[in-house]
Amino acid sequence: MSEPAFRTTDLTKTYGEGDGAVHALRGVDLEIPAGEVVVLLGPSGSGKSTLLNILGGLDRASTGEALYKGQDITAMTDRQLTRYRRAHVGFVFQFYNLMPSLTARENVELVTEIADDPMAADEALHLVGLNERIDHFPAQLSGGEQQRVAIARAVAKQPQVLFCDEPTGALDSTTGRKVLKVLTEVNAKLGTTVLIVTHAAATADLAHRVIHFADGRIRDVITNKTRKTAEEIHW
């Protein structure tokens, strides 16, 4: 069996100290195979984004181990973490964080200009179905189209892993489905491991694996025997 994308052992994260301490992660043991679409579900405050941020190298664990392809992220220096994020990881957030004064292509080029082995910005925009919108500014695009530019930007540097925190949170369900379709296509075409944190529980039907969080711990992990397509899910 190939090495998993991620493996965590007794991972904890505590924000603050003493009486005010918040135990965001209380001991997470997890394995995420490379090449899967994984959906993280759970109540607000249960630790999903915290886990995503630690695996993505945006935040640090308090204790425990988190391996990316056998490398311990928790032991990395800040410089190593920056390199890890640059080389291997793409992020998609609820709000698209596009530069309003740049076109779709120019927004993607911001990343392709500094990446080691990027695809062309136009190719990334084709991949997300925005062929006709390449020279549009964000204000000329719908919310779903803006999110697809954000996905193109994240995918253009050819990351091994795509972390998506509430990628459909600001979208209606029809538009959200288009965005999810793009994420599953990126997984299928490029083999990118895709982790999605969401409150839209129906998204779980797209996943290879569904992780349920509760109170800073994993409650259960389900492997879907069959997966639905983005067109088939509703929320």
Ligand X SMILES: Nc1ncnc2c1ncn2[C@@H]1O[C@H](COP(=O)(O)OP(=O)(O)OP(=O)(O)O)[C@@H](O)[C@H]1O
Binding site for ligand X (CB under 6 A): 15, 22, 24, 42, 44-50
Q: Least Å distance between CB 41 and ligand X?
A: 9
| Closer residue to ligand X in complex, CB, 119/200 | 200
Q: Least Å distance between CB 38 and ligand X?
A: 15
| Closer residue to ligand X in complex, CB, 20/100 | 20
Q: Least Å distance between CB 17 and ligand X?
A: 11
CB 72 within 8 A of CB 66: yes
Residues in the chain: 235
| Closer residue to ligand X in complex, CB, 8/50 | 50
DSSP per-residue codes, 41-67 = E--TTSSHHHHHHHHTTSS--SEEEEE
Distance CA 230, CA 202 (A): 10
| Closer residue to ligand X in complex, CB, 48/133 | 48
| Closer residue to ligand X in complex, CB, 29/135 | 29
CB 153 within 8 A of CB 108: yes
| Closer residue to ligand X in complex, CB, 24/121 | 24
Q: Least Å distance between CB 24 and ligand X?
A: 3
Q: Least Å distance between CB 60 and ligand X?
A: 11
Distance CA 118, CA 116 (A): 6
Q: Least Å distance between CB 32 and ligand X?
A: 17
Q: In what order do the strands lie in the sheet with 193-197?
A: 89-93, 161-165, 193-197, 37-41, 209-214, 217-223
